[in-house]
Structure 1
């Protein structure tokens, strides 16, 4: 079920990251343009016909004037259509170029972040194992063989473990320092809206009904790139778990000390025997999955002093809840 942002590379972009096009109202605009064109055409025909009737002195002159009038109308209409089409296509091209740039930056950020998350996770596990090994070595050095050679070997092993621990800690520090973005005071609502707009460029998401339930504003310390990436992963996962025409619901619940970003779907949910493993690195139920998407979401939660949980959704499928602390536990940096 886990699916990372890499899958977006294979999809044709439709919507810009800022969702400008998705907030337009095509039907009213099209009706307005058609109405203006119709009124202008009727006025032109009536006025030009009246002028032609006054200027012509015979049927032949009337026919000639009507012919020239028709040619002029076609030329002007064709020129207007050319200008409108050129402007629209240029706007679409610029928007697609902007989307492509934003998408490439986001995908590159995703890869760097995933590598850092995996390195940090592995270093953490190595530290845990080293702690147990060094504890046993200390006991052996204190209560083990009195033979000097054996004690020297134990001391060498202990020092080697210390050096390995230092390498592991440096790796963890390096992974954290390469986390994209920084914690700043931002409004979380437009970040969520932009991420949802961007997710709509994914082929599977376009075939689902995505709804947002958001407050008017929610200003808090937040790492915008990490939240955007996490929400993209969750929405794409939800789309992958539902059939075409399925429902995906994104909810932002503002509480006293934290906010909860929920992503619901009406799919089958996650089987009980997989629940304990869904946040493990490389665990996936998909043939083309890499098992790192939810690990990235968990890293985002940890960066914000929160957590990520799974529960059954009222829609009938899965619900992932990303908790983000909004208190003094996080130290915003100046933007």
Structure 2
């Protein structure tokens, strides 16, 4: 019970005792029934006081009840010792009731405090146990992921050898085609795209190997405007976009235009990041879907936001999509977004999932991009 409530209760019990004393005084002595009723009512404040205030409260209310009983004793003084002592014994019962109930209540309160302390200790132990269990589960997850990465590292090493050999042959064929097709030829642009994508694929294989080995992503030398990189990624995905009749809109903020205030970043790295996100967006949207790409400024850097009108990503799963081997596609590896996150962070930026204005998912990439003149 709150302290204020205890004070109010004590004053109510005190008023009750005073009222009983006044009734004893005002009621004539021959009205024995009423006086017996008042005597029995006196046990209520004594018992309640002992329950809520312990032995001290019980004794104090018992003493006050005895004082309120004095006018009644005075009435029986003239009736002889037998009647007087019979009434006087009631005072002993008042005191006994206050002491006995007070002792029981005090013992109960001590046990209550003891159990409360024990309960708090148990609650603390449970929290520590729960925290340790969570840490153990997290450690187990990290161990499982490390084992997967270790296994993937061995597999990717052999795959890298198998992939790089055909890449070298394809690169050689592309070089031959580039020599035979003049630069002013309409299809020369596609040969350049082929050569560039072969180079990017070669870098991607190296990046996967570094990721599986836990190595940091190394910043590449070639820097290109982000606007150019976005247009290049859209061009590379043109076939898939046409197949599903997906409408892609690109909005470049005036502050981020490529005249004087544009931003540059690692071309190969950003192509890989944007390709991973765009491919996921293409797979997520339905036929005649929409993808919206925004490029703007953010503090001292730039913001790239890719939104789609697909089904979106559940909030509970949003935190897990950047973890390794977490995928929502049947044939997905679960490495695309985790690698993209590591690449963006290696460039000094961050990538987050937000709500899309189109109703689906939105990936926002914040980069401390460098302006070019």
TM-score (norm. length: structure 2):
0.45
Answer with 1 or 2: which has the greater Rg: 2
- Of Structure 1 and Structure 2, the greater helix share is in 2
